[in-house]
């Protein structure tokens, strides 16, 4: 499994952890195009924070690197890395690369 696949798998494990806490009609799909913020998103702000924390934990367990995803850099980007599962996965890939975890 390559790094991009491992990142998505970590995100999907966090989604699996989160979904039982959500109503059936607001559960997250395990797909790159799943919206995390914006008009089509199903999570409220607290649920998004919980998901991000779960993703950080899964990334740490998978790669042995501690990342803070909701930092000033991410929050100040013109295009939010939290738009979708895929945009977040891409952002995590960049952050991991910066740690030397290639």
- pLDDT by residue (tens digit) across 28-56? 999 999 999 988 898 999 999 999 999 99
Confidence at 1, pLDDT banded by 50, 70, 90: confident
What is residue 102's predicted lDDT score, i.e. its pLDDT? 60
What is residue 62's predicted lDDT score, i.e. its pLDDT? 96
CA dist 100 and 41 (Å) reads: 32
What is residue 94's predicted lDDT score, i.e. its pLDDT? 93
**What is the tens place of the pLDDT at every residue in 59-84?**
999 999 999 998 888 888 899 999 99
Cα 79 to chain centroid distance, Å, stands at: 15
């Amino acid at each position: 499994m390559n790094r991009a696949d491992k990142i998505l798998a970590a995100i999907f494990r966090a989604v699996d952890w989160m979904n039982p806490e959500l109503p059936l009609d607001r559960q997250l799909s395990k797909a790159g195009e799943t919206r995390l913020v914006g008009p089509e998103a199903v999570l409220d702000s607290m649920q998004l924070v919980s998901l991000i924390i779960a993703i950080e934990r899964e990334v740490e367990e998978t790669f042995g690197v501690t990342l803070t995803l909701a930092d000033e850099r991410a929050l100040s980007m013109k295009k939010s890395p939290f738009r979708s599962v895929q945009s977040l996965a891409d952002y995590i890939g960049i952050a991991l690369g910066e740690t030397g975890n290639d």
